[in-house]
């Protein structure tokens, strides 16, 4: 008689326990993954706004004409009008920066760059802040009256 050869491999119980453990780990990872994606969209939205300002400034200097950036507009861009709109969960706030560090809220929805690349209609630098209501993160950058942009560190909303 031959001896009984032990079976190798997983039993059905072991396989079910392994699948259950993997499902628990996957359920724990999904919420953090959605936050990572939302943070990526938030960063992309802010970078898109900075690029829009830089492109408008470049076009103003290159074409020696006024070029406007219309905020909260999703109309088609033209050679003298660039449009930008905030993504879902993002809000935009413009403030004038005084030399002493105080800020004044602005309600303007249009930034115009003139032919020499400076921003028309402001006497001080602009603090451009974006806040994400889902992540409770606020990121800002400064649009100087000379037309250049500078990043600020992250804050909370």
Q: What is the pLDDT of residues 33-49, one digit of tens each?
A: 888 899 999 999 999 99
Flag whether pLDDT at 78 surpasses 80.
yes
Place of tokens 């600020």: 152
In the predicted model, what is the mean pLDDT of the chain?
89
Residue ranges and CATH numbers for the domains of the chain are 12-156 (3.55.40.10)
* Banded model confidence at residue 64, pLDDT cuts 50, 70, 90: very high
What are the residues facing 67 on neighbouring strands?
A: 113
Is 60 exceeded by the pLDDT of residue 152?
yes
Q: Could you read off the pLDDT of 91-119 as tens digits, one per residue?
A: 999 998 888 888 888 888 899 999 999 99
- Report helix, strand or coil for 102: coil
Q: What's the Cα-to-Cα distance from 74 to each of 4, 77, 82, 117, rounded to whole Å?
A: 74, 9, 9, 24
Tell me, rounded to whole angstroms, the distance of Cα 80 from its chain centroid.
Answer: 24
Q: Is the pLDDT of residue 62 over 80?
A: yes
Please tell me the predicted confidence (pLDDT) of residue 68.
Answer: 96
pLDDT score at 128: 92
Does 1 score more than 60 pLDDT? no
Q: Which residue has the higher pLDDT, 136 or 10?
A: 136
């Amino acid at each position: 008689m031959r001896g009984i050869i032990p079976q190798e491999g997983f039993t059905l119980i072991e396989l079910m326990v392994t699948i259950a453990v993997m499902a628990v780990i996957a359920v724990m990872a999904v919420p953090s993954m959605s936050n990572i994606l939302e943070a990526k969209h938030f960063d992309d939205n802010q970078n898109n706004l900075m690029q829009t300002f830089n492109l408008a400034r470049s076009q103003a200097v290159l074409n020696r004409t006024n070029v406007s950036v219309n905020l909260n507009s999703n109309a088609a861009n033209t050679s003298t009008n660039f449009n930008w709109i905030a993504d879902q969960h993002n809000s935009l706030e413009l403030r004038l920066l005084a030399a002493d560090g105080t800020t004044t809220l602005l309600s303007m929805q249009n930034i115009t760059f003139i032919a020499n690349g400076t921003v028309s209609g402001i006497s001080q630098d602009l603090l451009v802040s974006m806040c994400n209501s889902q992540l409770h993160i606020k990121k800002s950058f400064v649009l100087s009256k000379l037309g250049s942009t500078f990043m600020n560190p992250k804050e909370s909303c």
